[in-house]
Amino acid sequence: MKRLNLVILFLLIVAAGNAQKIMGFTDTNAANQIYWEKKFDAQLSAKNMETWMQFLTSHPHHVGSPQDKMNAEYMANLFMQWGYQTEIASYFVLFPTPKTRSLELLGSKPFKAKLEEPTLNADKTSGQKTEQLPTYNAYSADGDVTAELVFVNRGIPSDYEELERMGIDVKGKIVIAKYGGSWRGIKPKVAYEHGAIGCIIYSDPEDDGYVQGDVYPNGAFRPKDGVQRGSVLDMPVYPGDPLTPGVAATKDAKRLNRSEAVTLMKIPVLPISYEDALPLLQSLGGQVVPASWRGGLPITYHVGPGKDKVHLKLQFNWDIKQLYNVIAKLPGSELPDEWIIRGNHHDAWVNGAADPISGIVSELEEARVIGEMVKKGFKLKRTLVYCAWDGEEPGLLGSTEWTEDHQVELRKKAVLYLNTDANSRGFINISGSHSLEPFFNEIANDVIDPQTGVSIKERKYALTMVTSDKPERVKLTGNKNIKLGALGAGSDWSGFLQLLGIASINLGFGGEGQGGEYHSIYDSYDHFVKFTDPGFQYEVTLAKTTGRAMMRMANADVLPFEVNSFYKTVAGYVTELKALLDNTRTETAQENKMIRDKLFDFATDPTKKFQSPKEKDAVPYLDFSNLENKMEQLKNITEEFQNQYNNAIQLPADKRNELNEILFKVERSLINEKGLPGRPWYKHQIYAPGYYTGYGVKTLPGIREAIEQRKWKDAQENIEIVSKTMENYTQQVQHGMNIIDSK
């Protein structure tokens, strides 16, 4: 040990010469941190990841399957070996599985859908038929419906407006929608709102099949009989177990009846392959679809209905299943009650090599090396918490129940939640709390891309430049900052960020390992090592990225939150919303005039059925002044704070700790306990999944969705709520400022 310390000391002296800085670290601590980061990088093993992937994907491991439980226990054992305090946190959740699935076209050319993904010789696990979940949408309603079929494009609200103009009503009909354009659960929800009694969703080859590339097993893309399984739980209302909103689904929890659970879909809904979709779409009559609705099947797409009806019958086992989260802690030596949390789910729809095992094996290897380094003298000030979530696929069940269960403790202790999920070859993508933008940019600058030898930040910049059009490039030149995306829904951050106000980040690599395996039996080890990331290079690079974030966040002298970066981002959103309102006003007036002038009628081919759009209410001016004043105060205090940030590093330890607590809790001030309009579970005022987009984020959602839905009174009310939220954030930063000033 003594000899090791001498070596470290020597290296620290050498490093001090180069003096690489890390945000929030004194120079000495930065040099020590970098020393350990290099050791960390050197020990990461692609081989380990591959071995674990082989085991974890060896059988289907959805919620309730034997392999699901076995995987949790396998990972818990690993964490324990590496020195982590490990537990399995179990919950009991509603998880329906199919009992009956039948879809047929009636009439003169009857057709019965296959609803089956065939075994492929080239894919070893594809034949595990008795263990696989069949192709279905979890939380579809039971139903037995026969009706005319209508093609509704993506099945989002604007598609129904277009249908209305074409004179098509879906009341009492079954709709068929293409995957894409929204989260899948939006499609049956909107169909139901328009009176449809059933919903079919299919993967069109234009989006997800031969149009994109050669199909599996020759290429990576979705074959004709591949099906995207997936949940249709109404997660934009609340995620997690549908029977226990807001509270943990413990064995004895008080549960809603199924009929009371508003997130359960109201109509039967079934996903199918493009081979199964073809005869259904071919049977449709009516108008030819608008150009933007076309897909990649070799037919003329029609809106329908056809002369033949469709019969859809679905029945489910509505069982409560046990799920298994793995929670592994490595307690901090100085600040054990400040938690840096890392998560990736482990459950899959079938074998799930890419989704989620590519992410979890990277997390495991990251945790292993850090655990080993701690055994060899690496010190972590704060506590690391590694989580492997179960039940993400059906509806973020494991993470949501755990955050609901531990909300008091998490509100107190959680500094950061860092999420990953399926990972692939290519380019870094980062989304999340914008106060962390500079911190993650610094990391992206320090991690080297394995294919090009430049930093992942440089490579991302190259992609942005090359894929931008020429006028855009001029504007972007030299701006290498990775602008974080905002988080909607899609993986396990929701409980942390949107329920509890814990600063959260989701990141991963992608863009070069595309394929069509998503949520099918072909998301397998064989597919992954042939097409997605053969050498696991990007799972290693992911570990370098997330590992750095975990270790730096654990050891920072002053936590690397950049409140002015948050201000700037929100100021951009406010500008956007004002423009949205103004544009909506101008366009409404414009369109109303066009309607009155009959321009829509004059422009229409009279041989086609057409309803001129209806005039809309005029858009009022709203009062943004309170919000603008609060933004001005936020601007001033955050600029001042960032100017003083480096001084904060010199504060005495107790003051620094006080400041750090303010810093990681500043995101809590973005929570409004009443939640968003109509969905109290979602409490974050800056980021939420869109009520009609699902995965797609809505920023400043209370205001933005009110404007989009033309609820002007709600919009004004939410402007005031966000103003108050900004005031709270400003006060927190002011408290931080006071601490710095007090030195």
Out of 124, 294, 568, 635, the only residue in the binding site for its own copies (CB under 8 A) is 294
Q: How far is the CB of 121 from its own copies (least distance, A)?
A: 21
Out of 606, 653, 673, 674, the only residue in the binding site for its own copies (CB under 8 A) is 606
CB 339 within 8 A of CB 550: no
297 near its own copies, rule: CB under 8 A: yes
Q: Which range binds its own copies by CB under 8 A, 48-56, 247-255, 452-460, 562-570? A: 452-460
Residue among 379 and 608 whose Cβ is closer to its own copies: 608
Residue among 284 and 662 whose Cβ is closer to its own copies: 284
Number of residues that bind its own copies (CB under 8 A): 53
> To the nearest 5 percent, what fractions of the chain are helix, strand and coil?
45, 15, 40
Q: How far is the CB of 281 from its own copies (least distance, A)?
A: 12
219 near its own copies, rule: CB under 8 A: yes
Which among 350, 271, 347, 357 is positioned nearest to 522, based on CA atoms? 350
Q: What are the structure tokens assigned to 16, written together?
A: 């001090």
Q: What are the structure tokens assigned to 27, written together?
A: 């120079």
Residue among 606 and 652 whose Cβ is closer to its own copies: 606
Q: Which range binds its own copies by CB under 8 A, 69-77, 173-181, 404-412, 456-464? A: 456-464
Amino acid present at 155: G
Q: How far is the CB of 546 from its own copies (least distance, A)?
A: 22
Residue among 36 and 216 whose Cβ is closer to its own copies: 216
Residue among 83 and 296 whose Cβ is closer to its own copies: 296
292 near its own copies, rule: CB under 8 A: no
652 near its own copies, rule: CB under 8 A: no
Query: Counting runs of H as helices and runs of E as strands, what totals does the chain give?
Result: 24, 19
Q: What are the structure tokens assigned to 322, written together?
A: 């046990």
Angle at CA 601, nearest 5°, toward 595 and 603?
Answer: 110
Q: How many Cβ atoms are within 10 Å of 516's Cβ, its own excluded?
A: 26
Residue among 458 and 639 whose Cβ is closer to its own copies: 458
Q: What are the structure tokens assigned to 251, written together?
A: 């064995």
253 near its own copies, rule: CB under 8 A: no
Q: Which range binds its own copies by CB under 8 A, 205-213, 407-415, 693-701, 711-719? A: 205-213
213 near its own copies, rule: CB under 8 A: yes
Out of 70, 80, 256, 463, the only residue in the binding site for its own copies (CB under 8 A) is 463
473 near its own copies, rule: CB under 8 A: yes
600 near its own copies, rule: CB under 8 A: yes
Out of 111, 160, 192, 210, the only residue in the binding site for its own copies (CB under 8 A) is 210
1 near its own copies, rule: CB under 8 A: no
Question: Up-side HSE of residue 523: CA atoms within 13 Å toward CB?
Answer: 28
Which among 207, 185, 125, 57 is positioned nearest to 514, based on CA atoms? 207
Report the alpha-carbon distance of residue 509 to residue 545 in Å, rounded.
10
Which among 350, 220, 210 is positioned nearest to 273, based on CA atoms? 210
Main-chain dihedrals φ then ψ at residue 516, nearest 5 degrees? -125, 35
Report the alpha-carbon distance of residue 648 to residue 558 in Å, rounded.
7
Identify the residue whose tokens are 């409490």: 683
Residue among 425 and 665 whose Cβ is closer to its own copies: 425
452 near its own copies, rule: CB under 8 A: yes
Residue among 27 and 206 whose Cβ is closer to its own copies: 206
Which among 499, 485, 431 is positioned nearest to 676, based on CA atoms? 499
CB 206 within 8 A of CB 274: no
Q: What are the structure tokens assigned to 204, written together?
A: 């069109």
Amino acid present at 444: A
**Residues 411-440 contacting its own copies, CB under 8 A:** 425-426
Q: How far is the CB of 616 from its own copies (least distance, A)?
A: 13
**Residues 494-523 contacting its own copies, CB under 8 A:** 512
654 near its own copies, rule: CB under 8 A: no
CB contact burial 240-256 (16+ within 10 A = b; e otherwise): bbbbbbeebbeeebebb
Strands (E), 261-306: 269-272
CB 383 within 8 A of CB 337: yes
Out of 127, 134, 296, 438, the only residue in the binding site for its own copies (CB under 8 A) is 296
Report the alpha-carbon distance of residue 640 to residue 649 in Å, rounded.
15
Let me know if 720 is exposed, middle or buried by CB neighbors in 10 A (0-12, 13-18, 19+). Answer: middle
Site string for its own copies, 564-593 (x = CB under 8 A): -------------------x--xx--xx-x
Q: Which range binds its own copies by CB under 8 A, 469-477, 651-659, 705-713, 731-739? A: 469-477
Q: What are the structure tokens assigned to 404, written together?
A: 């609901």
Q: How far is the CB of 610 from its own copies (least distance, A)?
A: 11
CB 363 within 8 A of CB 327: no
Residue among 35 and 293 whose Cβ is closer to its own copies: 293
Q: Which range binds its own copies by CB under 8 A, 19-27, 158-166, 604-612, 689-697? A: 604-612
Residue among 230 and 295 whose Cβ is closer to its own copies: 295
Q: How far is the CB of 321 from its own copies (least distance, A)?
A: 39
Distances (CA, A) of 446 to 341, 457, 560, 597: 21, 8, 16, 60
Report the alpha-carbon distance of residue 358 to residue 537 in Å, rounded.
11
Q: Residues in the site for its own copies, rule: CB under 8 A? A: 205, 210-215, 219, 221, 288, 294, 296-300, 425-426, 449, 451-452, 454, 458-459, 461-463, 465-467, 470-471, 473-474, 477, 512, 583, 586-587, 590-591, 593-594, 597-603, 605-607
